[in-house]
């Protein structure tokens, strides 16, 4: 599908160029030329134009979220545990292999489809959303892009249907400075030996497949970093599960690797190229987190606004006071702007165009908007919003993580600023 889209686009681009050349040759002033020439074959669309498959997928995720997730959100948050029925349901519905080829068990949809799944799940629960996000945008994508053919045939079908994946890069001493990682890999005759610790690993409590970054040759610095596909049963130990402010149903664990033997065949891609894969995957993964934050913001907004038209003070619904309505308008516009940045980054990626700055802007802005929208949603519900009774406060707790994982807000600003310096600096 992505291939077909690219082909359509390149066809359109060629026709557009031809139209421009005809216009240039006409010798008329530019504005006149636009009127004088035939209608442009380029059909610009809004960022809310989706394929039929994307629309159908959105509807099916909405249904799944209502039927399966809504009844479990509060209990999972309180218990700080993901219900296994949700993970099974996500696999059964095909939401865990959105972009994977059909012959390997996937849905073979576009990257934007994955973004839609993440956004829709986050409207209901950011924990379920990030579980699906990490599995799709980080784990599946890395395997799809860099694994050997044998590895793809062995692992993509199980990642599509039954086994959850984790992405293990961060360590206690290396967060934003991810390539200062200390986990070591040694090459032996018929295996690699992994030793070290990973921290903050999403899905680790339930995952059976881990993409682990370790340094195979520290003398080469970050150019020794290599990625391995490690099955849990090879010896991955869960050392600690974090107790968190938000996304509490999503497991976040410390992992220990103590002489873990990994078959040579489980090298992902090439030795020493792990740092490239990590940069590349986090650039696109950020669009997923942006989608998570957009969905969360929308979910909080929708949960609160309706009730303001029911709740009466001073003889009328509080939602009818202009002071409230100005806030609704502001937050609604902020959410829409975050959504547009996110969809734009997703489509740029799909079209094979540069998207790193756009992804950083989408992630930074969406996480800001999510915090603002969920905070306002609490205030609009008054005292009730502050209780755990109606579940609005959870959105606010969950929103904080958007500014931390897959690159903190400062790291996103740094990325954006680097592009600006390149463009405008001396
Ligand atoms: C719930 C959760 C889930 C996570 N899931 C995963 C996962 O699945 N896999 C994984 O590998 N990691 C995961 N992480 C790790 C996450 O990516 C890191 O926490 C994040 O990159 C920040 O690193 P740090 O916590 O070490 O903070 P630090 O890097 O120590 O940052 C502390 C502060 O310093 C600022 N700072 C750092 N460097 C700079 C700079 N150069 N300029 C300006 N400011 C700077 C940061 O913005 C931040 O405000 C997760 C983290 C959490 C909390």
pLDDT digits (tens, 9 = 90+) for 123-142: 999 999 999 999 999 999 99
Alpha-carbon span 174 to 176, nearest angstrom: 6
Is pLDDT at 150 greater than 70 in this prediction?
yes
Q: Are residues 126 and 138 in the same domain?
A: yes
- The enclosing domain of 118 has a CATH number of 1.10.540.10
Ligand 1 neighbourhood includes 202 CB (under 6 angstroms): yes
C-alpha 401 – ligand 1 centre gap (Å): 10
Instruction: Please report where in the chains the tokens 């869960």 appear, as a residue.
Output: 238
Q: What is the pLDDT of residue 381?
A: 98
Percentage of residues in the chain having pLDDT higher than 90: 89
Mutate-to-test residue for ligand 1 from 138, 175, 213, 415, highest number of ligand atoms within 8 A of CB: 175
C-alpha 300 – ligand 1 centre gap (Å): 25
Q: Are residues 117 and 199 in the same domain?
A: no
Q: Are residues 318 and 385 in the same domain?
A: yes
pLDDT-based confidence at 236, cuts 50/70/90?
very high
Is pLDDT at 329 greater than 80 in this prediction?
yes
Provide the number of structural domains found in the chain.
Answer: 3
Ligand 1 neighbourhood includes 127 CB (under 6 angstroms): no
Q: What is the pLDDT of residue 1?
A: 36
Domain extent at residue 267? 166-272
Is residue 182 in some structural domain? yes
Q: Are residues 102 and 193 in the same domain?
A: no
Ligand 1 neighbourhood includes 200 CB (under 6 angstroms): yes
Asked if residues 113 and 74 have their Cβ atoms less than 8 Å apart, the reply is no
Asked if residues 144 and 157 have their Cβ atoms less than 8 Å apart, the reply is no
Tell me the mean pLDDT in the region 29-37.
49
Is 186 designated active site?
A: no
Q: What is the pLDDT of residue 29?
A: 53
Q: Are residues 312 and 323 in the same domain?
A: yes
Query: Over the stretch 254-295, which tens digit does the pLDDT of each residue have?
Result: 999 999 999 999 999 999 999 999 999 999 999 999 999 999
User: Where among 145, 164, 183 does a domain terminate?
Assistant: 164
DSSP sequence for 84-145: HHHHHHHHHTTTT-SSS-GGGTS----HHHHHHHHHHHHHH-HHHHHHHHIIIIIIIHHHHH
Q: What is the pLDDT of residue 27?
A: 57
Query: Over the stretch 160-200, which tens digit does the pLDDT of each residue have?
Result: 999 999 999 999 999 999 999 999 999 999 999 999 999 99
Q: Are residues 420 and 284 in the same domain?
A: yes
**Given the CA of residue 166, which atom of ligand 1 is nearest to it?**
8
User: Where among 215, 246, 272 does a domain terminate?
Assistant: 272
Is residue 31 in some structural domain? no
Is residue 183 in some structural domain? yes
Is residue 46 in some structural domain? no
Name the average pLDDT for the chain: 92
DSSP sequence for 277-345: HHHHHHHHHHHHHHHHHHHHHHHHHHHHHHHHTT-EETTEEGGGSHHHHHHHHHHHHHHHHHHHHHHHH
Q: Are residues 87 and 125 in the same domain?
A: yes
Is pLDDT at 7 greater than 50 in this prediction?
no
Q: Are residues 96 and 113 in the same domain?
A: yes
Q: What is the pLDDT of residue 15?
A: 37
C-alpha 168 – ligand 1 centre gap (Å): 13
- The enclosing domain of 188 has a CATH number of 2.40.110.10
Q: Are residues 116 and 178 in the same domain?
A: no
Instruction: Report the half-sphere exposure of 225 (CA within 13 A, side-chain side).
Output: 20
Query: Over the stretch 363-418, which tens digit does the pLDDT of each residue have?
Result: 999 999 999 999 999 999 999 999 998 999 999 999 999 999 999 999 999 999 99
| Pairing mode of beta strands 209-215, 225-231 | antiparallel
Q: What is the pLDDT of residue 11?
A: 36
Is pLDDT at 2 greater than 50 in this prediction?
no
Q: Which of the 8 DSSP states describes residue 224?
A: G
Ligand 1, atom 16, residue with closest C-alpha: 405
Is pLDDT at 8 greater than 70 in this prediction?
no
- Residue 35, classified by CB atoms within 10 Å of its CB into exposed (0-12), middle (13-18) or buried (19+), is exposed
């Amino acid at each position: 599908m992505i291939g077909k889209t690219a082909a359509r686009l390149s066809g359109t681009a060629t026709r557009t160029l031809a139209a421009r050349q005809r216009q240039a040759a006409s010798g008329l002033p530019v504005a006149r030329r636009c009127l004088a020439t035939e209608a442009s074959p380029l059909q610009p669309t809004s960022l809310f134009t989706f394929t039929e498959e994307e629309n159908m997928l959105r509807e099916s995720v909405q249904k799944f979220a209502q039927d399966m997730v809504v009844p479990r959100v509060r209990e999972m948050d309180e218990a700080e545990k993901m219900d296994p029925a949700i993970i099974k349901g996500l696999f059964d519905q095909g939401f865990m292999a959105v972009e994977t080829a059909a012959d390997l068990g996937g849905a073979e949809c576009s990257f934007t489809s994955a973004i839609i799944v993440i956004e829709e799940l986050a409207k209901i629960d950011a924990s379920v959303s990030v579980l699906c996000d990490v599995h799709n945008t980080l784990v599946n994508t890395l395997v799809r892009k860099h694994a050997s053919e044998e590895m793809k045939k062995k692992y993509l079908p199980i990642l599509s249907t039954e086994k959850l994946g984790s992405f293990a890069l961060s360590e206690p001493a290396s967060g934003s400075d991810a390539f200062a990682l200390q986990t070591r890999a040694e090459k032996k005759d018929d295996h690699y030996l992994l030793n070290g610790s990973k921290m903050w690993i999403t899905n680790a409590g339930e995952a059976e497949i881990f993409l682990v970054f370790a340094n195979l040759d520290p003398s080469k610095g970050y150019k020794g970093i290599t990625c391995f596909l490690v099955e849990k049963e090879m010896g991955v130990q869960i050392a600690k599960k974090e107790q968190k402010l938000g996304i509490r149903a999503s497991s976040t664990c410390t992992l220990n690797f103590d002489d873990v033997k990994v078959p040579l065949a489980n090298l992902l891609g090439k030795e020493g190229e792990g740092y490239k894969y990590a940069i590349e995957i986090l650039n696109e993964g950020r669009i997923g987190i942006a989608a998570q934050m957009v969905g969360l913001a929308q979910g909080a907004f929708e949960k609160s606004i309706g009730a303001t038209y029911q709740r009466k003070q001073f003889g009328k619904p509080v939602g009818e006071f202009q002071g409230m309505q100005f806030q609704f308008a502001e937050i609604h516009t902020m959410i829409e702007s975050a959504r547009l940045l996110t969809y734009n980054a997703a489509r740029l990626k799909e079209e094979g165009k540069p998207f790193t700055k756009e992804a950083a802007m989408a992630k930074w802005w969406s996480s800001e908007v999510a915090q603002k929208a969920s905070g306002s949603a609490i205030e609009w519900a008054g005292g009730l919003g502050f209780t755990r009774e109606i579940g609005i406060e959870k959105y606010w707790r969950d929103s904080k993580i958007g500014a931390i994982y897959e690159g903190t807000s400062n790291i996103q600003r740094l990325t954006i600023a680097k592009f600006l310096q390149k463009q405008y600096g001396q």
